[in-house]
Structure 1
Amino acid sequence: MSGMKFRRTCSVCNATFFSPDRKAAYCLKCLKKRVVKHVPSEAKAVPETTRVAPRPFPSSRPPLAEPSKSRPARVAKIATLTPELRRRVIEIYEEEYAEGAIQTREVHAQIASKLWLKRQLVADVIREITQSKIALTDDLKARAIEMYQRFVESGHRPEGGRRRAISSALGLPYKQVMKIIREWSMAEYETSPTPSPNRLQLFEIEKMYWDELNKQRYRLTELPAKIAEELGYVSRWQVLRWLDVLHDDQRAFANVPDPSPEAQQQIIDAYVEYLRAPAPPDHGLHYNIAGQIPKVSPRQVHKVLQNHRHKMRAEYPLV
C-alpha cells in the first residue's frame, strides 16, 4: 500500500520513528546529522579574504586648499534716468517697437534689458511719448464721473473694466481716471450720515433690496433711493455701490466649476435663510454656506449666488 509506514528503531539513538522504508536505520534527526557529518571538506565554502589597503603615511605638509569658485558680482540696474538714457530709450522704441507688435510689458522688459535700466524708468518714458497730453478740464472730469455713474446704475461692466473704458473713450490716462473716480466717490461717502457702513448695515441694505424685488413696488432704477430713504443712515450712492458689489462681474467665475444642480439649489435655499436672519453670520456668507454643503467650495457658492442675483435682476418686470 502506498500510504503504509513501518515502525522502526534508530540504530544510533534508539528512538522509535515511522518511515515508508521498512529498512530505514536512522531517524530523521540522526539522518540529518549523518549527512552534515559526511559532507566533503572540498564542498565547504571558504570565506574570501579581502586585502586591507595600507594606511597612508601621515604627512606634515598641510593639504592644498582648492581655489574657491566665486561668482562675479551682479551689477545693479541703473536707477537714475539721464537725458542720454532717455534719448536711447526713445530711439530704441521708435526704431524697433513703434509698430506695437509686442505687448507693452514685454517692450518695457526688452528695452530695460538692453540698456540695463530699471523697467519702471523705461515704462515712464514710453508712457510720456505714447499718451497724448490732454488738459483735464471740468467738462472732462464731469463726463468721466457721469460715465462711471451710468455704469454702476446699469450694472454694465465693459471688457477690461469701467475705468479703462472711460480712459479710452475720453482719451485720459488710466491713472488719472482712477484718481477722478476715487476722489469723487470719497466725497460722496463723506456726505452720508454713515460714511463707512458696518456689516450689519450692509446686511440690512441687502435684505431690503431682496424684499423690494419680491414686492415689485418700484422700478429697478428707483430702488436705491427708496432703500436709502427707508434706512436713513446711507446715501443713494452707497446703496448703489453695495448692490453693484453684490452683482459682481460674472466673467470672473469662468474657471470656477459649477456644482451639481442639487448643490446649486441647496446654496440658493441657504441664501434665502440667510436673508431671513436678523444679522449676518460671524464668518463670511460664502464660507458659511460652503460649510453646510459637502464638496462645495466658497468660490463655487459665490458663483452660484452671482448667477442667481443677476438672473433675478434681469427678470425683474419693472425696469
Structure 2
Amino acid sequence: MILQAAILLVGFLVLIKGADWLVSGASSLARKYNVSDLAIGLTIVAFGTSAPELVVNVFAAIKGHQDIAFGNVIGSNNFNLFMILGIAALISPLKVQSSTVSREIPLSFFAILLLFFLANNFFLSDNTALSRIDGLILLILFGSFLFYVYRQLKVDPEVKFETQRQYSTLKIWGLILAGLAGLIIGGRLVVDSAIKIATAWGISEKVIGLTIVAAGTSLPELATSVVAAVKKNNDIAVGNIIGSNIFNIFLILGASSLIRPLPYDRGFNGDMYFLAFGTLALFAMMFTGNRKKLDRWEAAILLGLFVLHTARLVAR
C-alpha cells in the first residue's frame, strides 16, 4: 500500500513536470507569433494543464476503467471551478473580460448539459453510456471551440505582456517533447496505482476518480492560476480555468469515448448537478457586487461549497 501511494505521488509529480515543460515550450512558441494572453489561456495553457487529465483518461479508457475516466473529468472541473478559482480570487480579486462572461462561461454550462444528456441517454435507451458517436459529437464541438478561439487571436492593445526569457526553437521543441514524455509516463503510473489503491482500500473507483485523481491532475491548473493571480494576470487565471473545463468535456471525454465506449454510472449525476450549479453561480457573481469581477467574499463561498461537497463524497 505504501509503495502504491508512493508510485501515485511520483506519477503526479511526473505529470505536473511534464505539463510544465509542455506549457513553457508551447507558450514561448505562441509568444513568438504575438498571441494574446486570453488566447494563450484558453488554448495552449488550458490544453497543457488539461494534458494530465487527457493522458489519465486515455489510459483509463484503454483499460476499461470508466469510473476513473468520468470521475477524473467531472471531479477536475469541480476542483477547477470551486477550489482553484476560489483560491486565486482570494489572493487577488479577479476581473473577468466581457467575452468570458458572455461567451465562455455559457459555453462551459452548455458543455455540462450536453454531457449530462449524452451520458444518461434519457430519450434513446436505458443503457447509459458515452458512445463513440457521442465522442465524435464532443470532438466536433471541440473543433468548433478551437475555431472560435482562433478568431480571438488578435492581440488586445490593452494587454501588456510581461518580459520573459525567449527560448531558441530547438529548446522550445525539446521542452514540448520532454513534456509529452513526462505526461505519458506519469499518466500510466497514476492510473495503475489509483486502481490498486481503490482495490486495497475497498473504495470505489468513482470516488477515487472524483477526489484523489481529479485533485492530482488539476494541480497544474492550480499552480498556473495562482501564479497568474499573484502577477495580476487575470486573463490567464480565469481563461485557464474556463478553457480547461471546456477542454475536459469536449476533448478529453470525447477522445476517451472514441477510443472505447464508456458505460456511465448515474451516481455521477449529483456531481454533474453540483458542477452545473457552480457554473451558473459563477455567471451570477459577475453581476453582483463589482460587476465582471470575482471578489474575495464570492471566492470564500466557492471554497466553502467545495469543502461541503468533498465531505459528502468522502462520507458516502
User: After TM superposition, is the score higher than 0.5?
Assistant: no
TM-score, normalised to structure 1, is 0.23
Higher helix share: 2
In terms of Rg, which structure is larger? 1
Task: Name the structure, 1 or 2, with higher relative contact order (CA <8 Å, separation 6+).
Answer: 2
TM-score, normalised to structure 2, is 0.23
